Amino acid sequence: MTTYAIGSVKGDYQSLLKLLEKIQFDPDNDNVWFAGNLVNEGPESLAVLRFVKSLGKKAVTVLGDQELRLLALAEGLERPTADDRLDDILKAPDRDELLKWLRRRPLVHHDSKLNFTLVHAGIPAEWSFSQALTFAYEVESALSQDNYAALLENRGQGQSRWHAKLRGWKRLNFIVNAYTLMKYCDAQGKLDFNAKGPADAQAEDLMPWYRLPDRPTAHLNIVFADEACFEDSAFPGIYPLSSQGGLSVLKLTAPPK
């Protein structure tokens, strides 16, 4: 059995099929991890969602910011823009089933046998592994409840620093934004949600989140979607799936050394 990790698909169903054919993915024997942002930008977000959902337990999908945007649009909490390509999902006869399935996807997935951890954007440097799982569950639990729209309605990016005493929406917002939007931070761990592009083009006080020293999760092998286009040099335990030049895939057949 082989497990593959794939970066942001962004509604590009045809490229996904070609990639799976290229790696000879066999759903009877193989598993596939998706690093979030299955939808938007591309022309066939509905087909992507239906396909990934049809894989059942053979596929693991973590939530990205585009899944959260889709859920917010479905609830009328955000207005569509000219760049959105989500109408096919919002008008689909199986829309409610697909959205319910999405709401039950995790923010983080860990496989102890493979020794890999999957997220969409990253894990804050202040968190231990056990905290990362616990905090993710707080958001996952809120999204799985009948009143999940309250979380989406109260989303914001005002909280850019983690504090153990954070409560309420500020706490949940930081958790969900860290998992789905985090790219660069300063030496104190303050997140910059607007910074993107190559690491060497950032302000001197910013660095990729994974380069902050003394991370308690430095022992993990973290796979994530590189939405920033870091173009960074290799870093121990860090496996970015670039979105430049097509879909990225990583074979996770053995624990990395």
The pTM of the full predicted model, rounded to 2 decimals, is: 0.96
- Residues forming beta bridges with residue 116, ordered by sequence position: 111
Angle between helix axes 95-103 and 45-54 (nearest 10 degrees) is: 60
Query: Is a pLDDT exceeding 80 seen at residue 199?
Result: yes
57 CB neighbour count, 10 Å cutoff: 6
Question: Is the confidence at residue 254, as pLDDT, over 70?
Answer: no
Name the phi and psi angles at 4, rounded to 5. Answer: -115, 150
The per-residue pLDDT for range 81-131, each reduced to its tens digit, is 999 999 999 999 999 999 999 999 999 999 999 999 999 999 999 999 999
Average pLDDT over residues 180-184: 97
The predicted structure's pLDDT at residue 131: 98
Spell out the alpha helix ranges (H) of 4-148.
13-22, 45-54, 65-74, 87-90, 95-103, 129-144
CB 166 within 8 A of CB 178: no
CA distance linking residue 171 with residue 163, whole number of Å? 8
Q: What is the mean pLDDT of residues 184-209?
A: 94
How many angstroms separate the CA atoms of 60 and 193, rounded?
26
Give me the residues paired with residue 6 across strands.
Answer: 34, 249
Q: What pLDDT, in 10s, does the model give residues 200-242? A: 999 999 999 999 999 999 999 999 999 999 999 999 999 999 9
**What is the predicted pLDDT for the residue at 246?**
86
Distance separating alpha carbons of residues 46 and 14, to the nearest angstrom: 12
**pLDDT digits over 107-119, tens only?**
999 999 999 999 9
Instruction: Give the model's pLDDT for residue 245.
Output: 79
Q: Quick check: 176 pLDDT over 80?
A: yes
For Cα atoms 240, 85, 8, give the angle at the middle one, nearest 5 degrees. 10
Identify the DSSP state of 145: S
- In this prediction, residue 255 carries a pLDDT of 53
The pLDDT confidence band at residue 256, using thresholds 50, 70 and 90, is low
Q: Which pLDDT tens digit goes with each residue over 27-77? A: 999 999 999 999 999 999 999 999 999 999 999 999 999 999 999 999 999
| 119 three-class SS | strand
Cβ neighbours for 176, distance < 8 A, ≥ 6 positions apart = 68, 107, 139, 151, 155
Separation between Cα atoms, residue 238 and residue 240, nearest integer Å: 6
pLDDT confidence of 244, banded at 50, 70, 90?
A: confident
Joined together, the tokens standing for residue 252 give 């996770």
Instruction: Provide the pairing of β-strand 3-6 with 249-251.
Output: antiparallel
